[in-house]
Every structure is written in structure tokens, then in C-alpha cells.
Amino acid sequence: MAEEYDHIVVGGGASGCVVAARLVQSGRRVLLLEAGHSHHHPLLDMPPGIFKMINGSKFMRYHATTPQEHLDGRVHEISQGNVLGGGTSVNAQVYMRGRPSDYDSWDELLRGNNSGVRWDWEHVLPHFRNMEGNNRFFDERHNDSGPLLVSDPGHIDDVSRWFVQTMQGLGVPFNPDFNGPSQAGAGFYQFMNRRGKRSSAAYAFIEPLRNNPLLTVRLNTAVKRILVEHERATGVVFADGAGERTVRARGEIVVASGALVTPKLLMLSGIGPADDLRHHGINAVIDAPGVGQNLIDHPEVPILAHLNGPYGYFGHTDGWRMIMHGLQFKVFGTGMVTSAGVEAGAFVNPLDPEGEPSIQAFCVPFVYLDRDLLKLIEPTHGVTITTVVTKPKSRGFVKLRSADPADMPIVSPHLLKHPDDMATMIAGQRFFLRAFQDGPLGRRVDKVLRPDTADLSDDALAAHCRKLVKTNYHPAGTCRMGPDGDPLAVLDAQMRVRGVENLCVADMSACPTINSGNTAAPAMMLGDRCASFVLGATSRQVGQERVSHVA
């Protein structure tokens, strides 16, 4: 007889860890299945350790895109966490919620569906706030005692300080809190760590439950399909070292495998575009044409410069310097190792200074390129400013490669395909190139390496963007929530898969549109909200909101 749990959570990433923890804390017996590895590793724990791993690591899964015709046939990669904690165990740890208008737009789209569930800022803020343990802020937006530890950078490089000062010289106001009243401005990010140790979703939510008998965590366990019987999710089939096994759930099964794998898993389970499923010999249990559509990601394009002195982090990650910094961190808990490697940034709207920010920038005190472009520039004392379109209009897709669960999905993100995205990116590149021309940072720049400043025409900058655009590691939207009557809405406003009882999706694939900024915190918020819906919080407070009972 198959094992049985109250709930099964498929995927131990940012949202999956939160869902599992909330359900266990409410007295439910939960099985958490994660295809990746343990999060216990010294390089994962230390803020900058990921830069030692990002270009090749077992803790990452690399999704190669289809050739992108609008990028001159380029194939690039979208790396995702292959570890408990998901992206929060391998990312740069930036804590960013997005702005209120992101969620107000979701609410406008979803309002009136499913017992009046609201998605506006007022109703998602309590989930963000209750999870947060901030070391600087405590007010109506921020909490100091939540499990997710949020901190100022432990070390700020001079290059990062010069960037923020230069932005102010260009008329961009200093912003002390990108999660505060306004996102616009330049300043220093906050990070999900404390005293130099990463605060991933695994550490914040799962680690405290390690000895709780209600929680079972299985790593290196790949789910092959969800069992759907009479339009009801009843269990999952997974493979581990012991072979193929089946487990059952009395209550909801929550899929939280990320925006690239969650649609793949639904399609392998017979939930997806019926014609595509039949093409792969899969019986279509539910014809859901929206599964795998609406892939959104933040496109990122670097601006690179050579510095005129030994500034930044180049040379500090190897040899005797690395040993020295490691000893300083080990003995005193201070120094460069307490930095995630990217401390400063800005949000601006170069086309409409009075409008909401259309570009997010990161200042990286070294030459930072995707691994397929590493040979483009020789390692040097350099600085990178990456410009990211905050609200892209381009949409891609995820499809099955075959009916074999071991095969990676087909992924086509279409970064910068929409002409408005390209126009916004070109404006962002022009704006932030000014940081290399004057001010405290400009005075330390010897030469701009990319783009070629000899030709900054629209055509030349577009060619530069096509060559260097990369993912900001924020895929979203592939199983989106939507209003009743929308044939492409995979989920209702309570994150339930339409047409299948007891099946929910709780990761970034549920987003109707992407938030402005990094996505780890929104993913955890989605996990927390999904748990509230699953628990059916009848007439009681969840943070500061009331959630209607789900029959």
C-alpha cells in the first residue's frame, strides 16, 4: 500500500519551503519532494560563494533556450537552483518585493473571482511582513522578528559607493529602502543573510522543523507525474535511489517546481494543451492551453568598463587574497566575504522621469558576464552595470520535449522580442553609460569595454543588446492565475488548477504578470498565500487579512 500524507509539496524551492512549513506548523503531515541536493555547503552559505559556482555547479540546472531568431539565432541559458531552497540557496540574495502597483494590477485582473479573494498590496503586504526579520527597519511595512533574516550588506565596496554617489550627481535621489514608500532612486540593496550566512528559504523555514515528525523531506527525488483520478489529484509518482514509487495525499498537492519545471510536470500529468500532449502520446486529462504559455523573465544587458586602478573585487577570489579574506571572515565575521558581490543599484525611468521605474540597475564591482560570453572580455579590474527591464512585454513559452520525465523542457523566453522592451533597454543603456563619464565612478573608469562608445546609435545599441542580453534568473507566469472565462488562465485566484480538485501551484509560474525587481521574496509570498488558501482559514486572521473558506 502506498504511503499517505495530508499534503504533498512538489519542489523545495523558495515557495515550496514556505508552503511545507506553514502546513506543518498547522498540524498537517507533509511530504516535501525536492529533485536537487542539500543546501548545506560552505560556498552556498557565504554571500559571495555563488559566484564561484554560477558558471558550472551541481547546485544549478541549466536550461538551454531554443535558438532565438530575434537575437540572431543565439542560444543562451537560464540557470535555476537544483538544491533545497531553490533560487534562495544559489542567488545573490537581494531582498526585493516589487512595488504596490504590481499587486494592485493582479487584483484588478482577478477581482470578483473565487469568493472575493484580493491580491492588492494591502492583502499581500502582511505575508511579506510576517516572514521578514529585518536588521534595520521596523514599521508598517517591515518586521524585525520573522524567520527570513534580511540585512544591510556586511561589506560595501568603494565601487558601489561611487556608483550611488554618481547617480545622485545625475539627479537620481538616494533611496534608503527599495521596499519602502517608493522604489525609485539609487541606494544599497538589502539581502537575505545575517552576519555573513545566507538566510535561504531552506534555512529560514525548513531547518527549524528538522526534528518535527510531521515533516518528511526527500532530496534527489524527481517527481515524474501527478496522479489525477476522476479530475482529482490523489498522489505523485517519483523516482529516487530505490526506483519508482507512488505516494498518496489525502488533501491538496502543491506544485512548486518553478516556472520552467512546473508546467512540464503538469503536462506530463495530462494537464496542458491537448494537441501537444497527444503528440507526445500523453492522455489529456484536462485541456489547459495556458500551461507553458506566458513565460516572462526580466531581460538584463551589461555595460562593462575597465577601471584605472586596483578597484573592485578582481583578484580577491583567488590565491593568498582569498585565503586572507576567508580567515578574516572565519575569525572576525567581517570583510569582503560578508558581501554578496553586488551591493548597490538603482530604479529609474529614462523615458519618463515622472513615471514608475522602467529600469532596474545593479552595480557589480567586477566584470560580470554569462558563461557563454566569458571569453568576450579578458579578466580585469572592472565594473559592470547591468540594466534590467522591470515590466517586460515580451512573452515566451515552455513545451514538452518528449514524454520522458528525464528530458529537459523546451524553453523559449523571447527576451527583448517586443519592440517596447528593446526601446526601454536602449534608453536604460544610454542613461547608465553616463555613470562611466563623470562623477566619483566616472573618474575611476579607464575605458568603456561594452557597448562600443564610438557608435551609440539605436541600431548599434540594439545589436549590443541582442548579443549580450541574458536572463535575470526570474522566469515566471507559465501557469498563471486569471479570471473566470479566460481560456489561458491555468489557475483561479486561489492558486488552484482549474478542472482538477486538490491541486495547486504555488511558485512564480502563478503570476499573471511579473513584479518589478527580484523575485525570491514574491515567490515566498506566493507560498505563504497558497498555504493560507489550503488551510481554508475560515473567519480568522492571516496576518492582517481574512481569507474566505474554500469549500
**Which residues are part of the catalytic machinery?**
474
Per-residue CA distances from 219 to 34, 83, 302 (Å) = 5, 8, 35
Cα–Cα distance between 11 and 494 in angstroms, integer? Answer: 19
Taken as a whole, the chain contains a residue count of 551
Cα–Cα distance between 484 and 113 in angstroms, integer? Answer: 7
Q: Minimal CA–CA distance to 528: which of 16, 104, 42?
A: 16
Cα–Cα distance between 200 and 219 in angstroms, integer? Answer: 16
Q: What count of Cα atoms within 13 Å lies in the side-chain half-sphere of residue 531?
A: 25
Cβ neighbours of 536 (radius 10 Å): 14
Cα–Cα distance between 164 and 185 in angstroms, integer? Answer: 9
* Strands across the sheet containing 410-412: 293-295, 396-399, 410-412
Number of helices (H), then strands (E), in the chain: 14, 29
Cα–Cα distance between 540 and 551 in angstroms, integer? Answer: 16
Answer yes or no: are the C-beta atoms of 131 and 18 closer than 8 Å: yes
Cα–Cα distance between 93 and 108 in angstroms, integer? Answer: 30
| C-alpha triplet 306, 155, 321: angle, nearest 5° | 65
Answer yes or no: are the C-beta atoms of 336 and 42 closer than 8 Å: no
Answer yes or no: are the C-beta atoms of 146 and 133 closer than 8 Å: yes
Cα–Cα distance between 446 and 544 in angstroms, integer? Answer: 53
The dihedral sign for the CA sequence 437, 441, 446, 451: negative
What are the two backbone dihedrals, phi and then psi, of residue 336, each rounded to the nearest 5 degrees?
A: -60, -30
Rg (CA), the chain: 23
Q: Find how far residue 183's CA is from the centre of its chain.
A: 18
Runs of H (alpha helix) within 224-340: 262-268, 274-279, 319-332
Strand 30-33 to 7-10 pairing: parallel
Coil/strand/helix, residue 129:
helix
Q: Minimal CA–CA distance to 479: which of 458, 500, 462?
A: 500
